[in-house]
Structure 1
């Protein structure tokens, strides 16, 4: 009996120590992950010593495009990315995934944007126009313009435009002599009412634009982030600051 009681106490002590060890391990792991995240955030937000937040944020993109190469989507975080861009006064926002899942679920995204669309100064809502059809994307400086696109609007859209142009040549609506780079470029620009993206933010580990509007990215700056999941305002602001520090040479 006496021995059984001591064995029971010893068992409780071992279990308590095991529980403490488990909690201690979780705390250490959490601290290590926070340190890694802090280091990662510093790397993402690296600025030249001469740069200040004020001067780099004077240079903002007119059009920002988010290319999501990940297989799972967070509509809440995508809505945040759109609203934050609008709050910075960025007039055009494009969200692209090649498989069109975001496009098919655009109502979820629209509802979340509507919920978050409240001005910081409580003066009302931003006027945001959302399009899911390339033909409906018409530039307007009176509202903030959002396009939700997929592969069918990218390379496939260029294929459709080529077929359309060929048909017009066969129907004598265009002559072969008129098919020159300037006229083709004008036709392509008219098919996508937005200006070319100044900044492309690519989410995921795929080093590709996966079919995103190939004709429109000739002069775009491309920045990569590992994921859009859980991306906070601080990292979004840092991304804009990184863009503001870039010197665009336009091929020179």
Structure 2
């Protein structure tokens, strides 16, 4: 009997963790198309990085002997990890938490000397889980685990962005932020217009209701007065004549 409150608390906590705290995401076809493009871009970049890393000769101590190529199986495994991590991003809005877990697993199994293999997928998946997942506690916990895995626990340096991509890192966030600000402004103006139209409709409905009530009261008063006048007329006509003096 003493364990019942503890079990109830654990059940309540599990319910709060597992049940969604918001509406389930419903991406539009345009959202799916954009996510597929993002997955393709990141996939092509990471697959090229995996191939370039696999073709890079291993370091040789001294000057004796030719450079030794890396294992082909490791290169194939790196390509598979890159494809899996990037392909999952196509569903980042519909299943943001599951995509984050797939990318997290891909990060765990990827070699520590290839930081760019899943880094960009990690950034996109973490943002998607934080922005779109209705399961807030597990999503935030998974993002924290991913950050610790990438930045603390892995013995590897973060990827360095090439100089030719530096303008993109400045222009792309500015364009996205400007587009988001414009979309927010348009939606805000539309919302204000809808609220104003609703207020006008409510005021007109209230005015019509008041006019209708006034007309109803006037008709009832007219009917009551007419009825009383008719009764008085009938009573006056039915009364006996008074005798003359």
The TM-score normalised by the length of structure 1 is 0.24
Which protein is richer in strand relative to its size? 1
Which protein is richer in helix relative to its size? 2
Structure possessing the higher relative contact order (Cα contacts under 8 Å, 6 or more residues apart): 1
Larger radius of gyration: 2
The TM-score normalised by the length of structure 2 is 0.25
